[in-house]
Structure 1
Amino acid sequence: MKNRTNSFVSVGHRPSVGSFEFNTDILATNPINLSVVLGVLIFFGKGVLNDLLDKRKQRILSTIRNSEELRRGAIEQLEKARARLRKVEVEADEYRTNGYSEIEREKLNLINATCDSLKRLENFKNETLFFEQQRAINQVRQQVFQQALKKALGTLNNCLNSELHFRTISANIGILGSVEKITD
C-alpha cells in the first residue's frame, strides 16, 4: 500500500524515504482521486440520498393519493350533478307540458270570453238599434200627430162658423144624453 501512496505523491522518480512530493501527472492521479471521492460520496451520501429519495417518493405517493381522492370526489360530484340535471330536465319537461296545456286552456278561456263579449256587444248593439228605431218612430209619430192636429185645427177653424159650432155642440150633448139613458 505504501507503494500506491507513493505513486500519488511521486513525480516520476522514486524519492527518498521520508520525503513528500506531489504527483503532477493528471492522467495517473485523476481516476484514482475520482474513484476515492465517489466512494466516499456513495458511502456517506447513500443514506442522505436514500432519505431524500424516500421523502420525494412519499410526497409523490401522497400527491397521487390526494389526486385520486380528489378525482373520486369529482366523479361523485359529477354523478350528483348528472342526477340533478336529469331531475331538472324531467321537471322542465313537466313544466313545459303543463305550461303548454295551461297556455291552451288560457287561450280557450280567452277565446270563449271574447266570444261572450262579442255576443253581449252584438245584443247591446241590437237593443240600442231597436231602442233608437223605436225612438225615431215615436218622434215621427209625434210630428205626424202634431201636423195632423194642426191641420185638423186649421180645417176646423176655417170650416167652423158659429152656427156649425152650435149644431156640433148640440149633437154631442144629444149623444151624451142617450149614452146616459142606456147606462141607467
Structure 2
Amino acid sequence: MKNVTDSSISLVYWPSAGGFELNTNIFETNIINLSVVLGVLIYFGKGVYNLLSLSNLLDNRKQKILSTIRNSEELCKGAANQLEQARARLREVEKRAGEIRLNGYSQIEQEKEDFIKAASANLEQLEESKNETVHFEQQRAIEQVRQQVSHQAVQRALGTLNIRLNSELHLRTIDHNIGLLRAMKNITD
C-alpha cells in the first residue's frame, strides 16, 4: 500500500518555488509493474472459464447452505426469545414465591425447574436440528460436486478418445482383441 501511495504522490511534484511538474520516471510510478501484472492476469485468466460452471454450482450450493444456516439461526433466535420469555415468567414465579412462600415453597421450586428444563430442551432440539440440516446440506453439496466432476471427467475422456481414435488404431485394437480371444480359446481346448 505504501508503494501505491508513494507512486500517486510522486506523480505530482510540488517544488518549494510553488510550481507544478509531472514525474516522468516510469519506474517510480509503477506503470511497468502494473502492465506486467495485468498481462499475467489476462493470460492465465483464460483457462479459468472452464471452471466457471463448477464455480457457479458451488456458489449456488453455498448460497443454499447459507440460507439454511440463516433459517436455523432464526430458529435459534426464536428459541432464545422463548428462553427469555421463560426467564421472565420465572422471575414472575419467583416474585409470587415470595408472596406465597408459606404455602408451597417446594411446589414453586419444582415449577421453576420444569420451566428451565423445558426451555433448555427446546434450545437443544433446535440446535441439533440446525446442525443436522447444515450437515445434510454439506453432504448433498459434496455429492453434487462429485457427480459434476465425474461427469466432466467422462466427457473429457470421451472427447480425447474420439480425437485420438482413428481407423488404423481402431483396426489394430480389434485385431489385438481377436488374437486374445483366439489365444483364450486355444487354452480352453
Q: What TM-score, normalized by structure 2, do the two folds share?
A: 0.38
Larger Rg: 1
